[in-house]
Amino acid sequence: MTFIVVFYLLSVLGTHIGLYHFFKKNGIPAWKAFVPFLNKIEWIKMVGLKPSFLVWFFIPGANVIAAISLMSELLDAHRIYGFKEHYGGIFCSALYFPHLFIKQNPIYFGPKGEIEGERFKKPKPNIFREWTDTIVFAVSAAMLIRTFFFENYTIPTSSLEGTLLVGDFLIVDKITYGIRLPNTPLSFPLVHNTLPFTENSVNSYVEWLTIPYTRLPKIREIKRNDIVVFNYPEGDTVLTEFQSSQMYTELCHSYGRDVVLSNPFQTRPVDKRDNYVKRCVATPGDKLEIKQGRLYINNELAYQAKRLQTTFLLHLDLKKMVNTNEIYNDLLDMDVNIDKFNFSQITSDSFIVHTDFDKIKQIRNFKYMISATEIIYPAPDNYNFMFPHDKSNFQWSVDNYGPITIPQKGTTVSLTPQNISMYERIIGIYEGNTLEQREGKFYINGKEARSYTFKMDYYFMMGDNRHNSQDSRAWGFVPEDHIVGRPLMIFMSWNQLKNTIRWDRLLNWVPSKFTPNSTF
């Protein structure tokens, strides 16, 4: 953190030293160069822009483009049009401005490099410069929009099947829940966490310059049943081969931590962890419990999405079928997802399918169907795969889970050997403390602690495809600093099984809160 502050101060100081000499030479009180915003007001006047231009410096992201414009206009005012000079001023102003205004001491001609009464025509840039300027502007604008306002996102898995489908392309709104400033501001443009064509092995960002968690004021809070895009909570450590598709915690339980870490792995800051999309089923302070596959919030049966999916065992009468492909074709005609994760054959006459209750009614009417029975999973033999991965104290399954209370900022919990597995990741990873357990006692940041007060709000996320979703039942709570935004619109939808566009889903709005009358 000290390095970041020093680096920032030196960068600002270098630019303002150059401005000091520029102001002094042109009759502006030189001290104004070191006064925030006052220096920009004088700068704006000298390059001939309207005073209202200052407003852009109060808008995150837009302030970067505004600063680039001011630097470029200032160079134009000195009739400095060279490629190296302009891009040196834009990207290295802390070094270039002192060199320019102290050593080179160029002549100031006026806004756009024009002197009143003089006929002057700015030289036309060559084609290389034109293309470079166009590309830089386009990439800067795209980065600004993607980082602070809206981002494209693709649904890669079937965890929200029935509500959002595999192959849906979403526009994600980052404004409603509050614009989150990036933790890693220096990164390769328009990619997420790894560089293309590097097989996920080369990071697209640098970590020597980071920004603490900062979120601008929100339009509204996350509501129960909102669909939310967030950074994968367990994504602080991932194996390079699997990324977030297989949980680091699960792999450690299966093979041992030493074995897992003998493979190539990566650690990532919050904003560069993989993006996930789920339904927020419980908000801070809520009590959550799943009993026999039914979700309860605060002791009441929770809202269920119209097309919520679960698992059914299908028993077929083979004598009434032409061949076993008949079931595949009939399900595909009904738009039931029959990829390997949602449909599988158990025996010659039985299959497992993930679908919703409306479609299972139609499936039961197939002439060859004997029965279609909902499957409820009891607690498994190995409880370690369910959060909080503590077989001794929490014997839970996907269909019988909790009760659990969602952590809320400012609330305090007592710490015991029986519940520490529930909160150790919050204390040590999400909220940045050191947690030790010695002789039955807990030490936080070196001091004995019998309780802990949460610094952030947390959320519980689940998929609508309840038996085919890696969600909070597997990796626990989602911290507020992991929240990215909410899906706003489906701008494209591709059916991977049929290789066709789902025309009926194009340009559909994704409701902020689903209701029983929702079209999804």
Least-confidence region, from 6-10, 43-47, 236-240, 327-331 = 6-10
The pLDDT value given to residue 117: 60
Least-confidence region, from 48-57, 245-254, 377-386, 465-474 = 377-386
> What is the chain's mean pLDDT, rounded?
85
Token pair listed for 216: 């601008």
Taking the domains of the chain in order of start, what are their residue ranges? 2-146, 151-230+274-301+380-509, 309-372
The superfamily (CATH) of domain 151-230+274-301+380-509 is: Umud Fragment, subunit A (2.10.109.10)
pLDDT digits over 73-93, tens only? 888 888 888 887 777 777 777
Q: Give the pLDDT mean for 25-52.
A: 88
Token pair listed for 345: 């054959």
Q: Give the pLDDT mean for 271-282.
A: 92
Q: Is the pLDDT of residue 17 over 90?
A: no
pTM: 0.81
* Rounded Cα–Cα distance for residues 162 and 319 (Å): 32
* Rounded Cα–Cα distance for residues 157 and 183 (Å): 27
Phi, psi of 8 (to 5 degrees): -65, -45
Concatenate the DSSP letters of all residues of 88-101 into one string: HHHH-HHHHHHIII
Amino acid identity of 119?
Answer: R
* Rounded Cα–Cα distance for residues 310 and 268 (Å): 33
Concatenate the DSSP letters of all residues of 11-36 into one string: HHHHHHHHHHHHHHHTTS-GGGGGST
Q: Give the pLDDT mean for 351-362.
A: 92
By C-alpha distance, which of 429, 430, 481, 404 is closest to 222? 481
Q: List CB contacts of 234: < 8 A, sequence separation 6 or more.
A: 244, 247, 248, 249, 475
pLDDT digits over 371-416, tens only? 999 999 876 654 557 899 888 888 898 999 999 999 999 999 999 9
Concatenate the DSSP letters of all residues of 260-304 into one string: HTTS-EEE--GGGSPEEEEEEEE-TT-EEEEETTEEEETTEEPP-
Token pair listed for 143: 């980065």
Token pair listed for 172: 């994600």
The pLDDT value given to residue 9: 62
| Strand (E) or helix (H) holding 6 | helix 2-25
Q: What's CA 182's distance to the chain center, in Å?
A: 10
Q: Provide, rounded to the nearest whole percent, the portion of the chain with pLDDT above 70.
A: 93
pLDDT digits over 102-153, tens only? 888 888 888 887 776 666 677 777 777 777 777 777 777 787 788 888 888 8
Phi, psi of 14 (to 5 degrees): -60, -45
Q: pLDDT higher for 101 or 126? A: 101
CB-CB contact of 399 with 375 (8 Å): no
Using the structure block, give the residue that is written with the tokens 């839970």. 396
224-255 per-residue burial string, b: 16 or more CB within 10 A, e: under 16: bbbbbbbbbbbbbbbbeeebbeebbbbbbbee
52-66, 196-210, 229-243, 467-481, range with greatest mean pLDDT: 467-481
* Rounded Cα–Cα distance for residues 221 and 199 (Å): 37
* Rounded Cα–Cα distance for residues 99 and 88 (Å): 11
By C-alpha distance, which of 316, 360, 317 is closest to 336? 360
Q: Give the pLDDT mean for 163-181.
A: 89
Predicted confidence band at 461 (pLDDT cuts at 50, 70, 90)?
very high
* Rounded Cα–Cα distance for residues 224 and 219 (Å): 16
Token pair listed for 423: 């909160």
Angle subtended by helix axes 62-77 and 127-148, to nearest 10: 150
The pLDDT value given to residue 94: 76
The pLDDT value given to residue 261: 74
Q: Give the pLDDT mean for 264-268.
A: 83
Q: List CB contacts of 226: < 8 A, sequence separation 6 or more.
A: 279, 280, 486, 512, 513
* Rounded Cα–Cα distance for residues 403 and 50 (Å): 60
* Rounded Cα–Cα distance for residues 213 and 275 (Å): 17
57-75 per-residue burial string, b: 16 or more CB within 10 A, e: under 16: beebbbebbbbbbbbbbbb
